[in-house]
């Protein structure tokens, strides 16, 4: 039995890039033609010219708060804010609500969110009975995983959330051998089973999402006979990346183009540097171009040891939205980026806010080539110009700032 879901996972790296770049201008044109919101966002863009990552990087990034703002503004006429190209009927089987609320469409195609590839990498196979503990109420999480399980040929028990005792009874009596849901609820199930002497030994594999899966918790499950994997997916984009048996980062899905950009900007960062995950999906029904997830990660060098040839990311490393209130004023990562752009000597900048409550100290730490006379004073003036606040400037050597994706660090004491 093949370890791979399909041949796309083993494509020659150069061939995959050619395929993605050939699909990209067609998707941009499709978004402009069928999605009123993307048509406005991409106004003036020549779709036929977007045939490289460099060209893609010149397009604007749309972030989730902007999607919500458009939806709210158009509630009376279009619940999706002009982003969906689907129409109600067979092509739109369901509508979901995520916190906000943000409404998302469910297309009529099998494995709409492409989660089957992640489940297959976790060992899910036809005939498995999958215990699905994601919520079936309003949100799409349960359906994202259920559609992928069905694409593989699994049977699904729609457990949903809560009612731990009844869920354990179902696992014990039905002999479910696979789990999808959050890792925290799986731990609750395992601990409750131990407490009540309920036999859930049939459960041997799991695909988790919605939360981080730290190595310590993964090892805890392994000690109890469960191989637990993690996936990275969103309601807007579907599957973005997934873990494999190599346990070395998350492999990118074949249906998306992923960039890592400096928070607050749309500028791609070098491989290995932490930044915001920005995704262009090839989904025709919800054609989001350069959608900012708000999540931090970093690209990893090389390919997965399992033989999957797509790129990898390190996994979820935090949130990119680091907007912070300082002396009563909001300061955004984009403002820090604006300050840095004004000076060609600046390589990287990090705003550190320290001090105690009501006594904020703002210091812009700046990696710069050399120490041009008066650079710190000129940067100080730019800080006041952009943020309307006074701040100190600390020049440091290139490469000395932490590689954690933080553009604004809140180091204040709140005692």
* 156 token code pair: 């699904």
Instruction: Report pLDDT for 319.
Output: 81
Instruction: Report pLDDT for 321.
Output: 77
Length of the chain: 415
Residue 246's Cβ-count burial label (10 Å; 0-12, 13-18, 19+) is middle
> What are the sequence ranges of the domains in the chain?
7-319, 324-410
185 to 143, 161, 208: CA distances (angstroms): 18, 8, 10
Q: What is the DSSP letter of 226?
A: -
**CA-to-CA distance for 139 and 104, rounded, in angstroms?**
9
**CA-to-CA distance for 158 and 148, rounded, in angstroms?**
14
**Of 26, 19, 15, 63, whose CA–CA distance to 284 is shortest?**
26
Instruction: Report pLDDT for 402.
Output: 92
* 356 token code pair: 């105690």
Which residues, including other chains, have CB under 8 Å from residue 8's CB and lie 6 or more apart? 16, 254
| Angle, CA 262 vertex, CA 271 and CA 391 arms, to 5° | 130
Instruction: Report pLDDT for 357.
Output: 53
**Of 243, 235, 255, 268, whose CA–CA distance to 139 is shortest?**
235
Residues of the chain with pLDDT under 70: 1, 356-358, 413-415
**CA-to-CA distance for 352 and 363, rounded, in angstroms?**
5
Instruction: Report pLDDT for 303.
Output: 93
**CA-to-CA distance for 353 and 41, rounded, in angstroms?**
34
* 35: three-class secondary structure by DSSP: coil
Instruction: Report pLDDT for 13.
Output: 97
Q: 96-123, pLDDT tens digit by residue?
A: 998 888 999 999 899 999 999 999 999 9
**CA-to-CA distance for 320 and 405, rounded, in angstroms?**
7
**CA-to-CA distance for 278 and 249, rounded, in angstroms?**
17
**Of 281, 279, 277, 240, whose CA–CA distance to 262 is shortest?**
277
Half-sphere exposure in the Cβ direction for 96 (13 Å, CA): 19
**CA-to-CA distance for 326 and 408, rounded, in angstroms?**
11
206, 226 Cβ separation under 8 angstroms: yes
Instruction: Report pLDDT for 2.
Output: 73
Instruction: Report pLDDT for 38.
Output: 97
Q: What is the DSSP letter of 160?
A: -
318, 404 Cβ separation under 8 angstroms: yes
Q: Considering the domain 7-319 in this protein, what is its CATH number? A: 3.40.50.12780
Q: 15-55, pLDDT tens digit by residue?
A: 999 999 999 999 999 999 999 999 999 999 999 999 999 99
Q: Please, what CATH class does the domain formed by 324-410 belong to? A: alpha beta
* 360: three-class secondary structure by DSSP: strand
Half-sphere exposure in the Cβ direction for 186 (13 Å, CA): 31
**CA-to-CA distance for 228 and 224, rounded, in angstroms?**
11
254, 283 Cβ separation under 8 angstroms: no
Tell me phi and psi for residue 351, to 5 degrees.
Answer: -90, 120
Instruction: Report pLDDT for 100.
Output: 81
- DSSP annotation string for 177-213: -EEEE-HHHHHHHHHHHHHHT---TT--EEEE-SS--
């Amino acid at each position: 039995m093949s370890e791979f879901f399909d041949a796309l996972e083993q494509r020659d790296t150069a061939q995959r890039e050619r395929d993605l770049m050939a699909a990209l201008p067609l998707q941009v044109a499709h978004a402009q033609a069928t999605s009123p919101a993307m048509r406005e966002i991409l106004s003036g863009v020549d779709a036929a010219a977007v045939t490289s990552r460099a060209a893609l990087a010149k397009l604007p990034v749309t972030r989730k708060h902007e999607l919500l703002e458009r939806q709210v503004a158009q509630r009376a006429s279009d619940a999706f804010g002009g982003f969906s190209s689907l129409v109600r009927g067979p092509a739109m089987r369901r509508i979901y609500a995520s916190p906000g609320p943000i409404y998302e469409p469910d297309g009529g195609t099998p494995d709409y969110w492409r989660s089957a590839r992640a489940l297959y990498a976790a060992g899910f196979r036809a005939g498995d009975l999958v215990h699905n503990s994601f919520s079936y109420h309003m949100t799409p999480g349960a359906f994202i995983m259920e559609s992928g399980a069905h694409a593989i040929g699994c049977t699904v028990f729609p457990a949903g959330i809560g009612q731990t005792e009844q869920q354990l009874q179902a696992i014990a009596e039905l002999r479910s051998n696979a789990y999808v849901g959050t890792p925290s609820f799986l731990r609750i199930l395992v601990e409750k089973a131990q407490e009540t002497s309920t036999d859930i030994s049939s459960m041997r594999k799991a695909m988790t999402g919605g939360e981080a899966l730290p190595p310590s918790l993964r090892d805890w499950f392994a000690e109890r006979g469960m191989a637990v994997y993690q996936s990275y997916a969103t309601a807007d984009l579907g599957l973005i990346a997934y873990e494999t048996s190599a346990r070395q980062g998350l492999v990118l899905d074949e249906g998306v183009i992923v960039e890592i950009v400096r928070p607050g900007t749309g500028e791609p960062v070098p491989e290995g540097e932490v930044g915001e995950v920005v995704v262009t999906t090839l989904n025709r029904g919800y054609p989001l171009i350069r959608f900012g997830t708000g999540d931090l990660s970093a690209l990893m060098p090389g390919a997965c040891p399992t033989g999957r040839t797509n790129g990898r990311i390190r996994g979820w490393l935090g949130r990119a939205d680091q907007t912070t209130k300082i002396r009563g004023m909001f300061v955004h990562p984009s403002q820090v980026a604006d300050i840095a752009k004004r000076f060609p000597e600046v390589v990287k900048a990090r705003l550190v806010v320290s001090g105690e409550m009501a006594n904020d100290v703002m210091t812009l730490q700046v990696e710069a080539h050399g120490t041009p006379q008066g650079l710190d004073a000129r940067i100080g003036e730019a800080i006041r110009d952009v943020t309307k606040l006074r701040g100190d400037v600390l020049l440091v050597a290139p490469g000395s700032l932490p590689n954690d994706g933080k553009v604004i660090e809140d180091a204040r004491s709140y005692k």
